Structure 1
């Protein structure tokens, strides 16, 4: 199991919480909530070791599009980058529809 942490400077606050996906074969669980300090923080726990550059690239794209101060916890069980993008989009949809 590998744990990675990424941080981003952001400016837009969101309210509410989102929980999407499940930690199962080829999928991931993603929990998103407002950040306490107004920045974005992502913690990833994954069974697939050595993919930090790919995770960073995907998260960089996400935060370029969504300048949101959130804390994200990802529990990965071998999800592809496409599934990661889907779960991030689903969580944002949950949060933006709650406001």
Structure 2
């Protein structure tokens, strides 16, 4: 098990907490919550060691076009880079959707 940490500067806070995906074979989950700092903190827990360069490249691409402020936890159980990117975009979309309260 490896734990990776990354920080990215940002200016746009997300509006709500989000949980997408599942920790299971070939998938990953993302937990995203608003953060009052001037940076985004990303923590990744993965069962695969030695992939920090791949994660950094993936996150660099994501944050190059998504200027958000959030605390992000990723729990990886074998998700491919494509799955990770899709889950990040899914979490971002859900975090910015307007929730309707009844």
Scaled by the length of structure 2, the TM-score of the pair is 0.92
Do residues 49 (structure 1) and 49 (structure 2) align? yes
Task: Please provide the CA RMSD for this pair.
Answer: 1.1
Q: Which residue of 2 aligns with 1:33?
A: 33
Aligned residues: 99
Q: Which residue of 2 aligns with 1:5?
A: 5
- 2:24 and 2:7 mapped to 1: Cα distance? 26
Unaligned runs of 5+ in 1: none
Q: Which runs of 4+ in 1 moved over 4 A?
A: none
- Displacement after TM superposition at 1:46 (Å): 0.1
Unaligned runs of 5+ in 2: none
SS at match of 1:19: strand
Point out the structure with max Rg over C-alpha: 2
